[in-house]
Structure 1
Amino acid sequence: MSVLTLLLAGPLQSWGASSRFVRRTTESAPTKSGVIGLLASAQGTDRNDDVGLARLAGLRFAVRIDQPGTRQRDFQTAHHAATGKAMPLTERFYLSDAVFVAAVEGDESLVTELRHALRAPVYLPYLGRRSCPPARPVDLAVHSGCGLQEALQREPWQAARWYQRMRRSDAQVDLVTLLETQDGTGDSLRDQPVSFSTAHRRHALRTYTSTTISVPNPHSLKAPATGPQQAPAHDPFSFLEAEDV
């Protein structure tokens, strides 16, 4: 088994699991259906291809919250393009300045195939909604011979530099991580994709557990010195020395 790690970072993200009608909410972390949709679009999988979707939905999923961001509310109005009639007012919620590391675990051949697709996507990836493009390349690495938790433990902290500097007093940072469970225990979320078809879009319940992963802080003031530091040679009076004429 192999694990593909993904960097999900951008000005705005939105990961809905219970959005209905005119109120479109977002979860505090990427959903499995959203990430599987990103991978399916990179492959060019048709929305009505339930067999292709099932192949991806069988991957195990986890997400590490590197920078939680802030929740934003957007109030939208719209008019019908053909009739000009006013459409219902909607509320849409986003995560601003958030950074996540997601991971999917499966057969090595499928994981490798997905990484190649992310590097040359059929359809451009987006972070939950088409209006939310990623700010950095999505694919991070492929980790062989390990599970989700170990793969996320290997990945460096991906938060923005300014955010990392806010934690300079910490040599290690504890990052909340949501791991998919296989025994049905833990919290549940309806984000297991069954069909992406517009005619019968369906999702099932998925269970996960929350844990903590500690990673080094590259901007910590407590980072150990790499070796003895020697001050550079400097003579502040050298410029006063007179030259022989």
Structure 2
Amino acid sequence: MSVLLLKLAAPLQSWGVASRFARRETQQYPSKSGIIGLIAAAQGRRRTDPIEDELTGSAFGVRIDQQGTLIRDFQVAVSLDERTKYPLSQRYYIADAVFVAAIQGEQNLLEGIREALLRPQFPLYLGRRSCPVTEPLVLGGIREGSLRDVLHDTSNWQASRWYRKRQPTRVHLPIFRDRLPEDTTDALAEQVRDVPLSFDPVRREYGWRTVLNEHAPLDNPEGRAAGHDPLAAFGGA
């Protein structure tokens, strides 16, 4: 199995899944539809172009390397002739977050995705047009291994140094990934509707997937020592 890693880092990101009308929310980690849309834009696809099954069918996962801050922005829109005013909208963003996204698939498919992201045909955004990509997306070459093993490999922790210093000496990085056929884990699972079937503005359509929530433990030598532990007298139970 082969896996391609992407680094998603920018001042602002927004990954809406069920947002509509005047309230546009974001979930805490990048959506599968958002990443596939990013790849499609890099490949030069139009919204009305079909989405290949091999792309939507690829296993996908995200690790939260740097937990961002949720912020809310109020926006008002006015038509060009200033005759029409639209309702006040609330838009939510994640500030200063860093995610590592992993895509598992065939070697040839991943090589094509990697080349497209290195030389994109259209501008790339992290969820919304107001969130342009500001750092290189591709993390090295294509890796061999399973989606789970690559995401649990914390040797490539992408958090900023200032963030590491504010964390404890032992951290657990949250992972949200597709359930795979070989999975026998009892990790917390949820149903998420973010598998794109069509990006066509006239008929947008999304399917469901099962997402597992895991954690990757990591020693953080730059972290701050923990304060008083009320359970220390009980042997850390």
User: What is the TM-score with the length of structure 2 in the denominator?
Assistant: 0.86
C-alpha distance 216-108 of structure 1, shift in aligned 2 (>3 A): farther
Higher alpha-carbon deviation: 208-217 or 38-47: 208-217
Cα 1:90–1:221 change in 2 (3 A) is closer
Structure 2 counterpart of 1:42: 42
**CA pair 218-57 structure 1, distance change in 2 beyond 3 A:** farther
Query: 1:80-111 CA deviation, whole Å, 9 max, x = no partner?
Result: 12453111221110011111101111000010
Q: Which amino acid aligns with 1:67?
A: Q
CA distance in 1, matches of 2:150, 2:92: 30
Larger Rg: 1
Whole-angstrom CA distance in 2 between matches of 1:216 and 1:139:
25
8 Å CA contact retained: 2:4, 2:142: yes
- Residues 9 and 96 of structure 2 are in contact (CA less than 8 Å); yes or no, is this contact kept in structure 1? yes
The answer to whether residue 67 in structure 2 is matched with residue 68 in structure 1 is yes
CA distance in 1 between partners of 2:221 and 2:133 (Å): 23
User: Separation in 2 of the partners of 1:136 and 1:118?
Assistant: 12
Deviation by residue 1:56-97 (Cα, 9 ceiling, x = unmatched)? 211111000111211111110011124531112211100111
Match of 1:107 in 2: 106
Partner amino acid, structure 1, of 2:9: A
Query: Aligned residue for 1:203?
Result: 206
Q: Which moved more, 1:18-27 or 1:211-220?
A: 211-220
Please list, as runs of the form range in 1=range in 2, the aligned pairs for 1:80-95 lying within 5 A after superposition: 80-82=79-81, 84-95=83-94
> In the alignment, is the contact (CA less than 8 A) between 1:153 and 1:215 conserved in 2?
no
Is the 1:156–1:215 contact (alpha carbons within 8 Å) kept by the matching residues of 2? no
Following superposition, the deviation at residue 130 of structure 1 comes to 0.9
Aligned-residue offset at 1:215: 3.4
Shift of 1:121: 0.5
Q: Match of 2:177, as an amino acid?
A: L
One-letter amino acid of the structure 1 residue matched with residue 39 of structure 2: L
Between the aligned residues of both structures, percent identity stands at 43
Shift of 1:55: 3.2
1:117 has 2:116 as partner:
yes
SS in 1 for 2:108: helix
Q: Decide whether the 8 Å contact of 1:77 with 1:90 is kept in 2.
A: yes
Give the TM-score, by structure 1 length.
0.83
Segment drifting more, 80-89 vs 56-65:
80-89
Letter in 2 for 1:176: P
- Deviation, 1:149, is 1.7
SS of 1:186 mapped into structure 2 = strand
Q: Find the aligned partners of 1:148 and 1:142 in 2 and give their Cα distance.
A: 15
Q: CA RMSD in A?
A: 2.0
Provide the rounded CA distance (Å) in 2 between the counterparts of 1:146 and 1:84.
57
Which residue does 2:229 correspond to in 1? none
Amino acid at match of 1:92: R
1:18-40 CA distance string (max 9 Å, x none) = 00111100001111000111111
1:13 is matched with 13
CA distance in 1, matches of 2:224, 2:94: 29
Gaps of 5+ in 2: 226-237
Partners of 1:209 and 1:116 lie apart in 2 by: 29
Residue number in structure 1 paired with 2:189: 186
What residue in structure 1 maps to residue 222 of structure 2?
219
